[in-house]
DNA sequence: GGTGCGATTTGGAGCGCTCCAAAGAAGCGT
DNA sequence: ACGCTTCTTTGGAGCGCTCCAAATCGCACC
């Protein structure tokens, strides 16, 4: 039981109590293996007894490393990033690294520059999982891995990249529908990182089947409202559509609304596939068939890549694409009436 | 244009370039108003030219304050907390404070103790928006405000509290249904911070109307699955139910599934009200009438309370309950057939 | 018993900033 | 012009830790 209220114990207090030098305590703290078991135990006991907590600030100042990695995500409202973060932390934590997260949407709202913030924080590395304003990443000289996106806008330096194979994912989704007998399959897209790849995967699968792709939503975003709008456009332009591949789950939910408005039901009249396999997709009331991009695994792999980069600053760039899988629920089914 | 590649400039470099002492630079950095405009400008110019970035670590070490506040939330998957955080930051940012967020769910998964983490980080204050494991908050001696919950489990020390008035919210929801002519109104609850208050509000409103409350889900959680289960229990026990007040939005979505399974529709057969007004509620396909607890405002108010506490450490405890409002969408409507 | 060598342990010199006491400048009244 | 007050500005002494070179220890070997 530490006697509280006195100034917070320092490394010196621990050293004194353990009967060793402050340097030895520092060694123990940093997990050096050049410390005799006896001393180590003594130090650990002293730490425990004193309730000692190392000062990160002092350690950072002295070592010029913060053991913090900046993580740039797009929006905490999007569960995809929450999962990515969970994966990231699952490997960063054991490696004694702390994640400092910035949410682009939030950051934009408060008018601050997230990358600037990371730099001010002197992060040791960066995980870029969302595209920041052009130019923001320019002067950055810390190791950087791109996660969940296949590339950054401009700086095509050989940064490490770990992402889900969105193209394959969309292909999977489209093939699933083709397998159910659908031929009139439309795609709802939107401007956004993964958007282009997903769309491309859909188009490729359609062409492979000798069908002509039908894409709407190119001009819009990727929200529920955008999905609704794109679905309306699609259904109005091609009422014969029997299946829809949406750019993501919320767009798929938007599509559901467009269908209902037109007296159509999923999957009876039109099948709908989402993308991301968010919690949303799993709700019974929706039961969306969705492409699982394994964002948690992407996060974990990105963190591993980062750690590797930190160890070998000039290893060749690492590129890794994880294979997505399709989670079939009940928003998709066989074509009922191919003639509609 | 800074000449890069040389070691990161320090306060001394800035001082030299501006022709002043390092102390003056420090004053400018900290926004002192005892600096002549001329010098201030000179310093600012030098900072700009050198691309100088203050070292937080050094500042923290020297000042013994990190200007960081720890924020404890339950789960980033829950948009309620995301909004709370946005509100928090909207006030903390301008005050030059940084938020360090820990997600209880995530923290539990990685086996780390979030509060311990904050302490190791030497945060200046804590915002507690979720209930941590019992005992975790015991030794904490930094200022603390409870946000979004009306009280903590054990330590009923006079901590500052800012929360939404959940009881009033549930009352609002119930009254809305009563106003639509409903009499057979059930409530879906669950163990959780706000759960008890919401339930109490519902019960009070029912009793005020001379009706008997019907609550299910006491034993469960507050997820979509729990909502589904509670709704099933309710509908099976009282098939005559014409309206449901759910503990939160995802539970409401669970209820929707239970209704559909029984061939009932909302609002035609049964009206459903959610709580939290999450993005989910606004999706066209769901269009949930929901109680908006204004979590963003709660966050902002909590941050203001925190700042005030930091300024006046021994002011009397501050308690603030924000008034919720009801957002009416299309999951609620007048009773169709009161006899069903 | 002395020597040598690797394994441990230690003192010292900062890391970049804050904050205090004290010095310097400037303005004022007489 | 002088003494005094008020406003600015400055040097110095740390904050708690890391890391390096050097000291010490232990012990095998001759």
User: Between the CA of B277 and the C1' of C27, what is the distance in angstroms?
Assistant: 62
Query: Chain A: nearest CA to B206, how far in angstroms?
Result: 28
Angle between helices B37-50 and B11-18 (to 10 degrees): 120
With a cut of 70, say whether residue A23 has pLDDT above it: yes
Ranges of each domain in chain B: 11-54, 68-164+295-323, 166-293
Can you tell me the distance from the alpha carbon of B163 to that of B297, in angstroms, rounded to the nearest whole number? 9
Q: Which of B238, B237, B245, B240 is nearest to B174 (CA)?
A: B245
For residue B211, the distance in angstroms to the closest alpha carbon of chain A comes to 30
Burial of B141 (0-12, 13-18, 19+ CB in 10 A): exposed
The token duo for B66 is: 């990190």
Q: Do domains B68-164+295-323 and B166-293 have the same CATH topology?
A: yes
In strand D, the nucleotides that come within 7 Å of a protein beta carbon are 7-12, 14-20
Contacts of A121 in chain B (CB under 8 A): 56
Chain B hits for A100, Cβ within 8 Å: 100
Domain B11-54 CATH class label: mainly alpha
Closest nucleotide to B42's CA, by C1' atom? D9
Here the tokens at position A48 are 């425990």
B89 and A CB contact within 8 Å: yes
**What would the pLDDT profile of A243-262 be if each residue is shown by its tens digit?**
999 999 999 999 999 999 99
Closest C-alpha to A228, from A240, A244, A212, A213: A244
Query: Cβ contacts of residue A37 below 8 Å, gap of 6+?
Result: none
* B166-293 CATH choice from 3.40.640.10, 3.90.700.10, 3.40.50.2300, 3.10.310.30: 3.40.50.2300
Spelled out in words, what is the top-level CATH class assigned to the domain B68-164+295-323? alpha beta
From first to last of the 340 residues of chain B, give the pLDDT tens digit.
Answer: 334 446 789 999 999 999 999 999 999 999 888 889 999 999 999 999 999 999 999 999 999 999 999 999 999 999 999 999 999 999 999 888 999 999 999 888 878 888 888 988 889 999 999 988 888 888 788 899 999 988 765 555 678 999 999 999 999 999 999 999 999 999 999 988 788 999 999 999 999 999 999 999 999 999 999 999 999 999 999 999 999 999 999 999 999 999 999 999 989 999 999 999 999 999 999 999 999 999 999 999 999 999 999 988 888 999 999 999 999 999 999 998 645 4
Closest chain B C-alpha to A210 CA, distance in angstroms = 33
Stated in angstroms, how far is A36 CA from C1 C1'? 28
Q: Exposed, middle or buried by CB within 10 Å (0-12, 13-18, 19+), for A302?
A: buried
What's the CA gap between B129 and B333, in Å, rounded? 34
CB contacts < 8 Å between A and B, how many? 108
Residue A64 CA distance to nucleotide D10 C1' (Å): 28
Q: Which of A64, A266, A284, A331 to mutate to test the interface with B (most CBs of B within 10 A)?
A: A284
Separation of alpha carbons B76 and A219, rounded Å: 30
Evaluated on CA atoms B74, B79, B80, B85, the torsion sign reads positive
Omega prior to A319 cis, within 30 of 0: no
Strand C contact at CB of residue B23, distance < 7 A: yes
């Amino acid at each position: 039981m530490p006697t509280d209220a006195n100034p917070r114990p320092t490394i010196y207090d621990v050293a004194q109590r353990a009967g060793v030098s402050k340097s030895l305590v520092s060694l123990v703290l940093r997990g050096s293996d050049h410390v005799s078991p006896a001393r180590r135990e003594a130090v650990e006991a002293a730490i425990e007894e004193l309730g000692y907590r190392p000062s990160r600030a002092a350690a950072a100042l002295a070592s010029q490393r913060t053991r913090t990695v900046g993580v740039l995500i797009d929006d905490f409202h999007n569960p995809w990033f929450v999962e990515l973060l969970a994966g990231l932390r699952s490997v960063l934590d054991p490696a004694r690294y702390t994640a400092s997260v910035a949410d682009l949407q939030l950051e934009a709202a408060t008018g601050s520059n997230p990358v600037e913030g990371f730099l001010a924080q002197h992060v040791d590395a960066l995980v870029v999982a969302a595209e920041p304003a052009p130019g923001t990443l320019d002067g950055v000289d810390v190791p950087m891995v791109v996660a969940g996106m296949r590339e950054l806008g401009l700086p095509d330096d050989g940064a490490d990249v770990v992402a889900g194979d969105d193209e394959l994912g969309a292909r999977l989704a489209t093939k699933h529908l083709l397998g159910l007998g659908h031929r009139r399959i439309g795609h709802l897209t939107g401007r956004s990182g993964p958007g282009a790849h997903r769309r491309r995967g859909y188009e490729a699968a359609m062409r492979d089947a000798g069908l002509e792709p039908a894409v709407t939503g190119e001009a819009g975003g990727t929200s529920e409202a955008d999905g609704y709008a794109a679905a309306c456009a699609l259904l109005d332009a091609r009422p014969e559509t029997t299946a829809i591949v949406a750019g993501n789950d919320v767009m798929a939910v938007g599509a559901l609304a467009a269908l209902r408005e037109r007296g159509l039901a999923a999957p009876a009249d039109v099948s709908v596939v989402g993308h991301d396999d968010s919690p949303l997709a799993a709700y019974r009331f929706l039961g969306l068939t969705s492409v699982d991009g394994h964002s948690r695994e992407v996060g974990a792999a990105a963190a591993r890549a980062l750690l590797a980069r930190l160890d070998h600053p000039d290893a060749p760039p690492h590129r890794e694409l994880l294979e997505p899988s399709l989670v079939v629920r009940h928003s998709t089914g066989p074509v009922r009436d191919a003639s509609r």
